[in-house]
Amino acid sequence: MTHMHIAGSIHADAAQGGPTWLRVPDDLNELDLKLWPRGTHRDESGRIVVAGVALTDVAEQHGTPTYVIDEDDFRSRARDFKEGFPGWEIYYAGKALLTRTVARWAAEEGLNLDVTTMGEMRIALAGGMPAARLGFHGNNKSDEEIAFALEQGVGRIIVDSFDEIQRLERACSEGGHRANVLVRVTTGVEAHTHEYIATAHEDQKFGLSIMGGQALTALVRCYSSPYLDLRGIHSHIGSQIFETLGFEVAIRRTMKLASQFRTATGVELPELDLGGGFGIAYTAADTPRATTELAAAFEEMVDHECRALGLNRPELSIEPGRAICGPSGVAVYRVGTVKTVELEGGRSRVYVSVDGGMSDNIRPALYAAEYSAAVANRTSTAEAVLSRVVGKHCEGGDILIRDVFLPSDVAIGDLIAVPGSGAYARSMASNYNQIPKPPVVSAKDGDTSVMLRRETLEDLMRLDVGQ
């Protein structure tokens, strides 16, 4: 056998029987409830039921792949943050999943909303989220986006560079506006998460460095601007974080910065935003913290720093995205091919190909994200075999779930449900290989309703206007 390249970790894991945390389940039919929307269960015929809707019915009515979002689950997690963090402002991070319906749910639950682009602003407003409750992020906001945000009266703009501050002032001056701003800072925290979703270390595109002194300069610059109302400091250390230690360091450093700002200006900053990034359970190995536990830890840290620095307690806000919509969503795929691949050493691996893949969930390919899966249309008493769920794209890395135990009788036509698919799946979807994006349907009390329809081949054809 000729190796064209040295086998990477994907191959190495096969010899070990999957990652170390992965256990052969005692009962393949049992659902690990921490992964699924609350109330998910199997009915008497063994079908997985989300929000009172059997996933087989979802597949029948909406086709596959389809993302199902349990409305009550979304709302209950939004409420967990509202109630778990009393007195804090909660900004739902729309980048995780945003449709008009989702914006309405967030607004009705008393959340504010984080947006990053013109598209997100437009959807949020169309969903009924008041402009005053929007926070506008981004490291490269266009003049058009800035002007639109000002005209709409967006509640706060989180500035990310000196260049942006200048352009924002110009837009204010031209349009006769004022803007509430927070300065996004990098705290130097190395969050324990994938490099691409750790955003507070120094060598990356977001924010202004505290250590390098730019953050303080930017704060003073905004404070002295005739067009800007400086509200405070913004820090987001990364995503899918379970430990509070990173936040603790971020709080210490941002509060110290607030104290330096007071020394420089004689004024205290009224607000501190600690960003999002609260981890959810994608696999049995993940152990998310309750919002009350997070809140207690954050409160204690902020109080401690306020006392130590002699600062008043600022108004506090956070920006959870994934932790609200991630566990509410399940992706439903249909199996199209099952193939057993013989490996060296007499081992084999079962490749289960589904009718979606990296175009509807890029996270595994982008940052080796792990997921779990279950057969959704039936139970099985077949033995558990280590399987790999792959998509239908022309790419070897088109892997949805690298290692998962599935029943050995998984067959063409079975439905595979992937929990944790509410966040950063549809919102990061592409049309790779000219595949129309799947729909997003909400489920509640036994009914479904389409929030975002499936793209069609006609949609794709219409975009192609060349001769």
Ligand X SMILES: Cc1ncc(COP(=O)(O)O)c(C=O)c1O
> Which residues participate in catalysis according to the annotation?
394
Burial letters 427-461, b for 16+ CB under 10 A, else e: bbbeebeebbbbbbbbbbeeebeebbebeeeeeee
Instruction: Give 278 or 371: the residue with its C-beta nearer to ligand X.
Output: 278
- Half-sphere exposure (Cβ direction) of 399: Cα atoms closer than 13 Å: 21
Measured from the CB of residue 327, what is the shortest distance to ligand X in angstroms? 12
Between CA 422 and CA 330 the distance in angstroms is 6
Q: How far is the CB of 323 from ligand X (least distance, A)?
A: 6
Q: Which residue's CB is nearer to ligand X, number 327 or number 391?
A: 327
438 and 112 Cβ atoms separated by less than 8 Å: no
Q: 258 — phi, psi (to 5°)?
A: -60, -35
Q: Which of 168, 178, 164, 240 is nearest to 206 (CA)?
A: 164
- Burial of 139: CB neighbours in 10 Å, binned 0-12, 13-18, 19+: middle
Number of Cβ within a 10 Å radius of residue 158: 28
- Cα gap 320→53, rounded to integer Å: 27
CA–CA dist 85, 273 (Å, integer) = 13
CB of 238 to ligand X, least distance (A): 8
Q: Shortest approach of ligand X to residue 228 CB, angstroms?
A: 19
Residue whose CB is less far from ligand X, 239 or 353: 239
Interface positions with ligand X (CB under 6 A)? 93, 95-96, 114, 137, 236, 239, 275-278, 319-323, 423
Annotate 281-299 with DSSP letters as a single string. -SSTT--PPPHHHHHHHHH
Provide the token pair at 255.
């509060």
Opening angle at CA 446, ends 453 and 101, nearest 5:
40
Nearer CB in complex with ligand X: 96/316: 96
Write the DSSP string, 356-398.
Answer: --TTT--HHHHH------EE-S----SPEEEEEEE-SSS-TT-
In whole angstroms, how close is the CB of 92 to ligand X at the nearest point? 9
Closer to ligand X at the Cβ: 65 or 320? Answer: 320
When the beta carbons of 36 and 278 are compared against ligand X, the nearer one is 278
Q: Closest approach of Cβ 428 to ligand X, in Å?
A: 11
Would you state the structure tokens that stand for residue 415, as one six-digit string?
Answer: 């439905």
**96 vs 179, which CB is nearer to ligand X?**
96
Both tokens assigned to 321: 């995205």
Is the separation of the CB atoms in 319 and 93 below 8 Å?
A: yes
| Closest CB 290 distance from ligand X, rounded Å | 15
